Structure 1
């Protein structure tokens, strides 16, 4: 039956008094009728009051971190189309209609806003290079190319949002969203969006090295969970190689003399080889468990319909 898709924008905010009103206003102007949910994450300024005055629905999340906000919002907000955008007024809100149209026309479950600098200083020093490095790493590990995995601007279908496990706590949630696209093979597209400097009175919450290390740690953790055969197999093969290098001279000497004079080396090589074989077996077992888990995730994902280009629920 025909219906008008409900569109909800989720805006995580912490001390964004200088920017949040503009973000709310721009979203409402770009997509009339959109519901803008501003999640105040323990701000110490007037972020919540300013957002409310601008017409947003303001909610609070006491656990600090963007991941906590996204997990709470995805659980609480009911909509057909979800928009995630940072509250620092750096993303081009005017690009939102194009992103929503792309989602419907695909139809896709996830549309990524790929940042293109509107000013030469939009990216902090080193951030663009780091982002490219993470894009390459995740693409190689999970087998799907992505142009801007750390973008905080995304449009998603209901079935994508409601199947997202949301285990992250901080800025690494963007990485988790990107990997979720790859693991369930959700239909995905990208749209270029403008990216500009933060307002003068707005301060970035991203800590370059600290958050970069957390993102790298999450990539390793997700590789262990989502590519167990690759992860444990690589460890196992490395251990078997080390065991072979240690044990080859001992075996050669035994074959020529019938003696094993280097007993400690023999024991060490055998132990490392056993651990290597066990690692590969663990990878095989967990790979079977992963297949069952992915089948369940896929079934949950398919329980939710997606609107097509004409706004008809399918």
Structure 2
């Protein structure tokens, strides 16, 4: 297994992208955990128009912070991080939720999985080994529906398509910096990668319940969310490649 020294010896630049909207209850703990478990990674908090002290607390904790003047939503915030990664020459970028659900201690597993499989993106799945927080019953039903649809559309088995714990290499960073879904992008991003013949693999991780803040999807929005995501990924599957492929296809 690669240790912290090996990451430095390989001269890899790694960026942890932390999208955060009103996460003042947990953002300091997330940054502290990243600093403890992944000292080899730079930390970039995308303060997505928060109306609380999220941005200031993140700065005080020692993270780089980009303050967005208005709330773009998770897609816009994450793409801002990927653009920063692309413009500053990072070899890897990992998404880490600002609510404490993701364990930075699992990042080594994602890095090892990417190097072993050669995948362009590695997704941390809570459902492979079924340890830790497993989501609510109603959301798990929706996730199972998306599992079947994404597997059929891409021909690749996936167990946790809504997981936001994702590690990308340079090719995936370049794509997402130019084109990234909005609203609730995790599922669409898998289809987008497949459209461009980029690969993704899953690695088992353990997730926590959110440590604070409010989920972007309320129970009353769940049905609307499912319908919107299903329609979005079907449309995504029919879209043609853009100019990105001309300069990045191998």
Aligned residue among 64, 67, 71 for 2:79:
71
Aligned residue among 224, 234, 242 for 2:238:
224
Q: 2:215 is matched with which residue?
A: 204
Alignment CA distance shift 1:213-1:198 (3 Å)? same
Q: Deviations over 1:138-177 (max 9, x none)?
A: 2112322211111000001011110234342211x11222
Aligned residue among 99, 114, 125 for 1:88:
99
Unaligned runs of 5+ in 1: 226-289, 304-314
Q: Deviations over 1:209-253 (max 9, x none)?
A: 33223212212211332xxxxxxxxxxxxxxxxxxxxxxxxxxxx
1:3 CA displacement? 5.0
1:54 CA displacement? 1.5
| TM-score, length basis structure 2 | 0.84
Alignment CA distance shift 1:300-1:132 (3 Å)? farther
Aligned residue among 50, 56, 65 for 1:43:
50
Assess if the C-alpha contact under 8 Å between 2:180 and 2:189 holds in 1.
Answer: no
1:119 CA displacement? 4.8
Assess if the C-alpha contact under 8 Å between 1:163 and 1:300 holds in 2.
Answer: no
Assess if the C-alpha contact under 8 Å between 1:36 and 1:56 holds in 2.
Answer: yes
Assess if the C-alpha contact under 8 Å between 1:160 and 1:301 holds in 2.
Answer: no
**How many residues are aligned here?**
232
Aligned residue among 146, 150, 153 for 1:134:
146
Q: 1:187 is matched with which residue?
A: 199
Q: Does 1:30 align with 2:30?
A: no
1:1-314 map, 5 Å: 4-61=11-68, 62-77=70-85, 78=88, 79-116=90-127, 118-119=131-132, 122-164=134-176, 165-171=178-184, 173-199=185-211, 201-207=212-218, 208-225=222-239, 290=240, 293=241, 297-302=244-249
Asked which structure has the greater RCO (Cα within 8 Å, sep 6+), the reply is 2
Distance 2:114 2:246 in 1: 21
Distance 2:170 2:76 in 1: 19
Assess if the C-alpha contact under 8 Å between 2:19 and 2:48 holds in 1.
Answer: yes
- Report the aligned-residue RMSD: 2.1
Q: Secondary structure at the match of 1:209?
A: helix
Q: Deviations over 1:35-85 (max 9, x none)?
A: 111001111111111111221111122242111112222122331100012
Distance 1:301 1:71 in 2: 18
Q: Deviations over 1:116-137 (max 9, x none)?
A: 46556x5134111111110101
Q: Deviations over 1:168-227 (max 9, x none)?
A: 2211x112221123222323321111112122x4221223233223212212211332xx
Q: Which moved more, 1:28-37 or 1:110-119?
A: 110-119
1:302 CA displacement? 4.1
Distance 2:144 2:207 in 1: 16
Larger helix fraction of residues: 1
Q: Secondary structure at the match of 1:181?
A: helix
Distance 2:25 2:36 in 1: 19
Q: Secondary structure at the match of 2:202?
A: strand
